[in-house]
Amino acid sequence: ISATSCPMGKEPATSASTETESIERLVESPDLAGALESERFKTFLDHVPIAIAVSELRDPEVIVYANPEFERVSGLGVASLERQYWDILEGEAVDEPNGLSLVTAIVERSDRVGRFKMQGPDDPVIVDLHSNVIEDDAGIPTYRLVALVNAVAGELDSQSLEARVRE
């Protein structure tokens, strides 16, 4: 990923589909596993307006990075997240009748997993969950990248845009 392909500063909220495309481009980036070890890349992720957390796929798997947006959405600070397993996050699927837990979805599914309700810092938040395993150059799974996209904000932006177009 180059500095020109994603914004370095906060931009106005975008639609959920645009953010989903951004996540897909990020995950498909060559040498993402190597980049995740770089402080420069982590600084870059700190400015991405999508909630991103990364875990190392070791025994045990633990969160090694969360950007400020992930902290904001989850209501948990970096100190609470780092070196923890995904079960520190609580949430339940809103689009599956059997109530898939957020933790199960993160570790057992991939790509756009679904829509989840989780407790934010003040009120519940509805997010679209993306979870991907990142492999190193040798094809060995090294990291899990998790992204949470505020689903309601994306829908509100989309509805606002549609209303302006109709006017």
Burial class (CB in 10 A: 0-12, 13-18, 19+), 29: middle
Q: Considering the chain, what percentage of its residues have pLDDT values greater than 90?
A: 45
| pLDDT tens, position by position, 95-150 | 877 789 999 999 999 989 999 999 888 889 999 999 999 998 889 999 999 999 98
CB 35 within 8 A of CB 145: no
The mean predicted confidence, pLDDT, of the chain is: 77
Q: Is 53 helix (H, G, I), strand (E, B) or coil?
A: strand
Burial class (CB in 10 A: 0-12, 13-18, 19+), 57: middle
Question: What is the pLDDT confidence band of residue 19, given thresholds at 50, 70 and 90?
Answer: low
With the CA atoms of 107, 112, 114 and 117 taken in that order, what torsion angle do they form, in degrees rounded to the nearest 10? 80
